[in-house]
């Protein structure tokens, strides 16, 4: 009976070793250890004892067959038996077909929300129309190198467009924006109360009529033309912007932080204030995009820093941020969006040391406008000028930061680098092919991570992981067959 208990214990330890660490060679090692135990304690092993190594092999194959026939779990595409059983049917990539009425309503809501976002964005921009006209006329009359630009003609065209829309004063613009905001709020409430069975075509026609009534697109177009002319002198000559997009996993708080850093270098100009109203509109759109009842929590933040000073939070993006520290040539604007939860179990059939995965999906890849006012440090008169530029959702993502040695697998190819962040060594994943907010939103990238355990997260496993995990389970089967053959040879000798 004691021998039987030892045999059962050995089999359980072998299975437990597989479940705990996925290290298939561990099973082979346990088979070999079992042979040594039998040789030491039993001079003439029974047929059952001699068949045990082959039993382990058969159990291993049976387990793979079971996983292959029941279908590969969708969250374990890189870990499961698809790599072994090529005959197994891959998981369906076709999207599930829902109720057509619900799908149509969802699409209509997204379209109208996007139209509302654009309308409010245009209205917000033209609040500074009269300031921009005054600055353009001042630049046109200066002795700077803008004399060849048709600033005066463009400023006059914007003035005429404002008058045609009965927006002849800043107060008139503010009143029109208030009416637009009231109308859009009613439409958002109406959309939230709309049922799938209602006449959506009539709803769309009513909204289009309301949109035509409040639209300020033609005024915005004239203002955009004038701003473009001013930008041709300011941006990349007096204000040099660079942009970096990154994502960072905070494993302790189970959050994924998407970060957009805009660095401004001021050349012959001094920053006076920044207008982040475009950020505030983006945040509202971001919250509207969240599905009702979703457990996803989105937390946006905006920070600004000057020179070598630590960035500080902008508390109210609707209010222009005045620059108190004058003379700094370098300005950093950090737009940060934190998404929780970030991590989900990757292998539900692996229990004690779970593999986990994250979905690299930019929350809402919309273009966002940044505006700033600077004082030009040349010329006889102290001139002020406003620059503006829109962020591009097709800009490449620089990389993803994850804990050191935690990366296991992904459907996208990454270059792995080591990077020091806040005094802590991390693993930096740089995409081999372009990855943008737009592409990641429409086609999210799944990144699978090793369990949070030093058994997995070390240099040796990171460099040799393809040899010790079920991704190459045929190799594991070869290990077991060799161990069983070695066991048979030793049993025969005994």
Task: Summarize pLDDT for 79-108 with one digit per residue, the tens.
Answer: 444 433 333 333 333 444 467 888 888 888
Q: Region 213-229: what's the mean pLDDT? A: 90
Higher pLDDT, 120 or 485: 120
Tell me the pairing of strands 239-250 and 397-403.
parallel
Helix H or strand E encompassing 177: helix 170-193
pLDDT at 78: 39
Whole-number pLDDT of residue 361: 94
For the sheet with 356-360, list strands across it: 343-345, 356-360, 445-449, 407-410
Tens of pLDDT, residue by residue over 249-299, are 999 999 999 999 999 999 989 999 999 999 999 999 998 888 766 788 999
Tell me how far apart the 2 most distant CA atoms of the chain are, in Å.
107
pTM summary value: 0.74
* C-alpha to C-alpha distance for 440 and 445, rounded to whole angstroms: 6
pLDDT for 240: 94
**How many Cβ atoms are within 10 Å of 428's Cβ, its own excluded?**
21
Mean pLDDT of 181-187: 90
Mean pLDDT score of the chain: 80
Q: Are 407 and 427 in contact (CB under 8 A)?
A: yes
- pLDDT over 80 at 482, yes or no: no
Nearest-CA neighbor of 326 among 379, 276, 270? 270
Instruction: Identify whether the C-beta of residue 75 lies closer than 8 Å to the C-beta of residue 349.
Output: no
Return the domain boundaries, the chain.
Answer: 2-79+469-493, 100-234
C-alpha–C-alpha distance, residues 249 and 294, integer Å: 21
Burial class (CB in 10 A: 0-12, 13-18, 19+), 155: buried
Tell me the mean pLDDT in the region 398-416.
90
CA distance 326 to 306: 9
């Amino acid at each position: 009976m004691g021998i039987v208990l030892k045999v059962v214990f050995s089999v359980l330890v072998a299975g437990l070793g597989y479940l705990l660490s996925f290290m298939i060679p561990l099973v082979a090692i346990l088979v070999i250890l079992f042979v040594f135990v039998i040789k030491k304690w039993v001079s003439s092993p029974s047929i059952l004892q001699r068949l045990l190594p082959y039993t382990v092999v058969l159990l291993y194959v049976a387990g793979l067959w079971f996983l292959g026939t029941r279908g590969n779990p969708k969250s374990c595409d890189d870990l499961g038996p698809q790599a072994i059983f090529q005959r197994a049917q891959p998981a369906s990539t076709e999207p599930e077909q829902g109720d057509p009425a619900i799908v149509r309503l969802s699409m209509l809501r997204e379209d109208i929300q996007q139209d509302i976002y654009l309308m409010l964005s245009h209205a917000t921009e033209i609040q500074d129309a009269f300031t921009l006209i005054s600055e353009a006329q001042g630049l046109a009359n200066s002795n700077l190198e803008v004399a060849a630009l048709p600033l005066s003609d463009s400023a006059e065209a914007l003035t005429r467009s404002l008058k045609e829309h009965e927006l002849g004063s800043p107060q008139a613009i503010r009143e029109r924006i208030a009416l637009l905001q009231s109308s859009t709020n009613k439409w958002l409430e109406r959309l939230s109360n709309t049922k799938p069975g209602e006449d959506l075509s009539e709803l769309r026609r009513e909204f289009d009529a309301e949109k035509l009534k409040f639209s300020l697109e033609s005024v915005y177009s004239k203002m955009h033309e004038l701003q473009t002319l001013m930008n041709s002198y300011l941006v990349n000559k007096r204000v040099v912007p660079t942009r970096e997009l990154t994502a960072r996993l905070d494993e302790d708080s189970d959050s994924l932080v998407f970060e957009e850093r805009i660095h401004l270098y001021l050349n012959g100009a001094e920053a006076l204030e920044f207008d982040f109203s475009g950020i505030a509109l983006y945040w509202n759109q971001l919250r509207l995009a969240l599905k009702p009842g979703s457990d996803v929590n989105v937390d946006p933040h905006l920070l600004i820093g000057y020179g070598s000073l630590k960035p500080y939070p902008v508390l109210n993006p609707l209010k222009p941020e005045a620059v108190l520290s004058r003379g700094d040539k370098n300005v950093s604007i950090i737009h940060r969006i934190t998404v929780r939860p970030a991590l989900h179990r990757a292998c539900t059939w692996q229990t004690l040391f779970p593999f986990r995965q994250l979905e690299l999906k930019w929350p809402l890849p919309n273009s966002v406008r940044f505006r700033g006012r600077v004082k030009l440090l040349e010329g006889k008169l102290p001139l002020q000028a406003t620059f503006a530029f829109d962020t591009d959702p097709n800009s490449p993502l620089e990389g993803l930061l994850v804990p050191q040695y935690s990366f296991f697998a992904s459907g996208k190819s990454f270059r792995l680098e080591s990077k020091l962040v806040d005094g802590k060594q991390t693993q930096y994943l740089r995409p081999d092919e372009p990855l943008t907010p737009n592409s990641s939103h429409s086609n999210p990238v799944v990144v699978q991570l090793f369990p949070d355990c030093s058994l997995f997260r070390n240099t040796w496993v990171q460099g040799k992981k393809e040899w010790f995990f079920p991704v190459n389970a045929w190799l594991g089967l070869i290990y077991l067959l060799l161990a069983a053959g070695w066991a048979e040879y030793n049993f025969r000798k005994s």
